[in-house]
């Protein structure tokens, strides 16, 4: 049986999800306050958000791993006996990681590397990587694995609200020009990750609380009567998480517990503190 290696980029926040999978993490670097930190290894989410809350003048940026770093990771898997590898990356519309990973995949020898554009970020990347690992253990081919991952990629939706749009705008992660107007007007828009994997403005809203309510409303509208897995992702905003849980419990008391996940610094640098997401993936 062929041995498959699985990789994700640091944006998946896999370090904050307990698991027993052998999945390699390609880490980005956070640039902040004149210093550089390797995501999670040198700067965890708790410390990162604490620093931003303590000093409003700090503005974090990120630097993705080099092609050489990715090549070394592929070669290490090859040397450990892997015949193939799959790298689940953050959306290619949000980062150049996918492109770098593709370049490194063409350079490596002795192992076939498939780079899979998740067209998303965070927990769903982890879910895809976990699934790839499980399917490989069952002896599934790479074509079968990609097909299953593609279902997850094509059957999810994420809405979110940010407390301060400047992080998305200045870091170039907001794909439509409405983002720049919103920054000027101090609007707190309803945002989504669209089918192409880009962050776009859905509605212009004046306050964060109203934007959060629209996130909840859109989630409830789209998932009414549909079997799905829901999740909350946030940038150190337990108060809003509590509010979301209360609203969802009122609307759907029969719904099972919704898991929540934190945004790692490499993603929090772009959405800013207090951002909160409600997402779902349809059951197959």
pLDDT at res. 82 = 95
Domain that holds residue 276: 156-282
CATH number, domain at 273? 3.30.1180.10
Same domain, 140 and 208: no
Closest CA to 145 of 211, 86, 192, 232: 86
Same domain, 212 and 253: yes
Same domain, 68 and 97: yes
Same domain, 103 and 170: no
What is the gyration radius of the CA atoms in the chain, in angstroms?
19
Q: Domain total for the chain?
A: 2
- Note down pLDDT in tens along the chain; length 284 residues: 579 999 999 999 999 999 999 999 999 999 999 999 999 999 999 999 999 989 988 999 999 999 999 999 999 999 999 999 999 999 999 999 999 999 999 999 999 999 999 999 999 999 999 999 999 999 999 999 999 999 999 999 999 999 887 777 776 655 554 545 545 556 788 999 999 999 988 988 889 999 999 999 999 999 999 999 999 999 999 999 999 999 999 999 998 889 999 999 999 998 889 999 999 999 98
Number of Cβ within a 10 Å radius of residue 1: 8
Instruction: For residues 134 and 82, give the distance between their C-alpha atoms in angstroms, rounded to a whole number.
Output: 15
Same domain, 161 and 133: no
pLDDT at res. 178 = 53
Of 129, 154, 179, the one marking the end of a domain is 154
How would you write the chain as a 3-class SS string? CCCEEEEEEHHHCHHHCCCCCCEEEECCEEEECCEEEEECCCECHHHHHHHHHHCCCCCCEEECCCHHHHHHHHHHHHHCCCCEEEEEECCCCCCCHHHHHHHHHHHCCCCEEEEEECCCCCHHHHHHHHHHHHHHHCCCCHHHHHHHHHHHHHCEEEEEECCCCHHHHHCCCECCCHHHHHHHHCCCCEEEECCCCCEEEEECCCCHHHHHHHHHHHHHHHHCCCCEEEEEEECCCHHHHHHHHHHHHHHCCCCCCCEEEECCHHHHHHHCCCCEEEEEEECC
Instruction: For residues 45 and 268, give the distance between their C-alpha atoms in angstroms, rounded to a whole number.
Output: 8
Closest CA to 159 of 129, 200, 126: 200
Residue 119 inside a domain? The answer is yes
Packing angle of the helix pair 67-79, 97-107 (nearest 10 deg): 50
Instruction: For residues 211 and 99, give the distance between their C-alpha atoms in angstroms, rounded to a whole number.
Output: 33
Same domain, 111 and 242: no
Residue 24, token pair as written in the block:
């390699």
CATH number, domain at 138? 3.40.50.10170
pLDDT at res. 173 = 57
Residue 46 inside a domain? The answer is no
Same domain, 173 and 101: no
pLDDT at res. 177 = 47
Instruction: For residues 217 and 48, give the distance between their C-alpha atoms in angstroms, rounded to a whole number.
Output: 30
Same domain, 77 and 177: no
Same domain, 278 and 161: yes
């Amino acid at each position: 049986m062929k041995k498959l290696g699985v990789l994700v980029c640091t944006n998946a926040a896999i370090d904050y999800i307990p698991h027993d999978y052998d999945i390699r993490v390609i880490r980005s670097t956070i640039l902040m306050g004149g210093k550089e930190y390797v995501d999670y290894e040198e700067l965890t989410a708790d410390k990162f958000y604490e620093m931003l809350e303590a000093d409003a003048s700090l503005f974090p940026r990120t630097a993705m791993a080099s092609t050489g770093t990715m090549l070394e990771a592929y070669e290490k898997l090859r040397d450990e006996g892997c015949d193939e590898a799959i790298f689940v990356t953050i959306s290619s519309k949000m980062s150049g990681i996918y492109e770098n990973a593709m370049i490194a995949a063409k350079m490596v020898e002795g192992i076939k590397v498939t780079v899979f554009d998740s067209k998303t970020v965070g927990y769903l990347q982890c879910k895809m990587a976990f699934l790839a690992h499980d399917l490989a253990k069952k002896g599934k081919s790479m074509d079968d694995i990609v097909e299953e991952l593609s279902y997850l990629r094509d059957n999810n939706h994420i809405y979110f609200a940010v407390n301060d749009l400047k992080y998305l705008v200045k870091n170039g992660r907001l794909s439509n020009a409405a983002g720049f107007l919103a920054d000027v007007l101090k609007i707190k828009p309803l945002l989504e990750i669209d089918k192409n994997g880009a962050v776009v403005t859905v509605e212009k809203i004046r306050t964060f609380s109203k934007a959060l309510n629209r996130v909840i409303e859109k989630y409830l509208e789209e998932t009414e009567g549909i079997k799905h897995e829901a999740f909350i992702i946030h940038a150190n905003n337990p108060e809003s998480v509590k509010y979301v849980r209360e609203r969802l419990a009122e609307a759907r008391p029969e719904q099972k517990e919704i898991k929540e996940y934190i945004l790692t610094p490499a993603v929090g640098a772009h959405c800013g503190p207090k951002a909160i997401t409600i997402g779902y993936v349809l059951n197959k």
